[in-house]
Structure 1
């Protein structure tokens, strides 16, 4: 493991708030990383600080009453008492350095970056290939999105889960639509991509436009379009965990007629809806199996930072370090 991977693994094992000393002790006890220097705690503390400064969404920290920081994984947030997290929780986001990006990677090479970012937020995502839909109409790219996602409401008790399902099953999940672009550098490119996202997401609870690079000159227009139409905007990063929501999406009710139309048009979308329904209606005995089946059907995602780095190198996706 790298030092970053060792910290992530330790926080996952601990599944609680932990300071840098506790994390370091866990790394040493499990031989996750071999420290070269004589001060492993300082190395771990410095790396934890880098997670926060670089806006890595996998790791969060809170300030304790004694002024020291404790850290935890974002995906473990539900397992940590809400009264603990109601304190001084902070994540410091730093704008990624804009660099000259190579034009050699393909738009679909970015899908795995987005699926990894979404997986870190407990969202299952699936690429929908419009060329596999029924018919040969090129305008179908305005009908369904590049990727779809679903996030389930994570209630902690069986009583509350069953109670919500008995009232309104639709409230137990949220469906999202993602229109993905390599880069958007002009006002005309932004409007075309944005209204493609509007068209493609009419069926979903949330619609997003995602790009690897947005020109800084478009911030004002993105804010206006977001306020007018409710489509969220995500800036994707070569380190997917440093991706960020520039503008949040506005919630809408599901359009079941359009969902039905998309199911008829595209078998992968229909399968995604089927897998979702299967998990929602599974009895307690079969939930874990249905969850595993959905996870295997959805897009793959990175297991660690080394995989991310190797993938970006292989696909010629530029990183902030270049």
Structure 2
């Protein structure tokens, strides 16, 4: 007998309700009807897990039973109810977001700042930008792709390195980074579950932003999400890059999802090249820095990368 899943529960609730619902509403109705007991889940925040399953399924699964509707709040309905699928966003055409009232910043303007922070403050992590628009099947795999990926190489002597390679326990660490210009209540859930979806293959997953709301209720929710799913949060300081920092630490996944890594490498040639570059560096015992995003060591030069194009 097939295992009863969160998606099965959502389908039953939505069929019974006849209308699209938010994940929290689906879970509430499941508890009221007793369907939640069929899951036998031990998680502390099952409604969050339900939301994550629905976000991932509607983004990555062409045969999904569900459709995502609206933005605030985000609702989920059944395809069979006749809802229309939303058009996937063209990530290469994101609008500017005004930061601090003086600069218009795009997410990719943040990449050099993350490259700087990852190298100097995440213990020499080399990052590489992944271009979503060059992927296959973009409409259903958008949330599989992080904005940047990263690798931390082991600092080991030749003997230890060869032994680690022979035993299949080479201690490299892979990172996934999802970038947003700003994080607040209006985009928190979508941004967070996007980070959950596109980091499931890596040792560490991070959600990164240049502005993070200081609202106490927002920070409490952000902490709950981080604790529940193990996603870390980084705040980039564009005025003083050395003051950037990790707001919440990512929880390490010790076992990599090689099936997902293989799937992503077939969907995106940039990610496939990243894997090949990592292998070449390990085999050659030398890091070819030009294969990764440039790390600007001069802070003033780094800040200048925002440039006059950022002015209103």
TM-score (norm 1): 0.61
Give the drift of 1:100: 2.7
Matches of 1:175 and 1:133, distance apart in 2: 20
Q: Does 1:199 pair with 2:193?
A: no
Give the drift of 1:136: 4.2
The residue matched to 2:104 in structure 1 has which SS? coil
Matches of 2:101 and 2:294, distance apart in 1: 25
Q: 1:144 to 1:309 in 2, by over 3 A?
A: closer
**Within-5 A mapping of 1:73-222:** 100-102=100-102, 104-120=104-120, 121-137=123-139, 139-155=140-156, 157-169=157-169, 171-186=170-185, 188-217=186-215, 218-222=218-222
Matches of 2:224 and 2:196, distance apart in 1: 14
Aligned to 2:306: 312
The residue matched to 1:312 in structure 2 has which SS? coil
Q: How many residues align?
A: 208
Deviations 1:28-54 (A, max 9, x none): xxxxxxxxxxxxxxxxxxxxxxxxxxx
Q: Any gaps of 5 or more consecutive residues in structure 1?
A: 1-98
Q: 1:241 to 1:317 in 2, by over 3 A?
A: farther
Q: Does 1:243 pair with 2:237?
A: no
Q: 1:242 to 1:124 in 2, by over 3 A?
A: same
Deviations 1:183-239 (A, max 9, x none): 0121x4111100000001111111110010110112111110111100000001113
Give the drift of 1:316: 2.7
Q: Which runs of 4+ in 1 moved over 4 A?
A: none
Aligned to 2:276: 274
Provide the alpha-carbon RMSD of the alignment: 2.0
TM-score (norm 2): 0.62
Give the drift of 1:314: 3.3
Please say if residues 165 and 172 of structure 1, whose CA atoms lie closer than 8 Å, have aligned partners that are also in contact: no
Deviations 1:255-286 (A, max 9, x none): 0011011110010100000111112223xxxx
Give the drift of 1:303: 2.9
Please say if residues 118 and 126 of structure 2, whose CA atoms lie closer than 8 Å, have aligned partners that are also in contact: yes
Deviations 1:8-39 (A, max 9, x none): xxxxxxxxxxxxxxxxxxxxxxxxxxxxxxxx
The residue matched to 1:202 in structure 2 has which SS? coil
The residue matched to 2:234 in structure 1 has which SS? strand
Please say if residues 153 and 173 of structure 2, whose CA atoms lie closer than 8 Å, have aligned partners that are also in contact: yes
The residue matched to 1:216 in structure 2 has which SS? coil
Matches of 1:145 and 1:224, distance apart in 2: 22
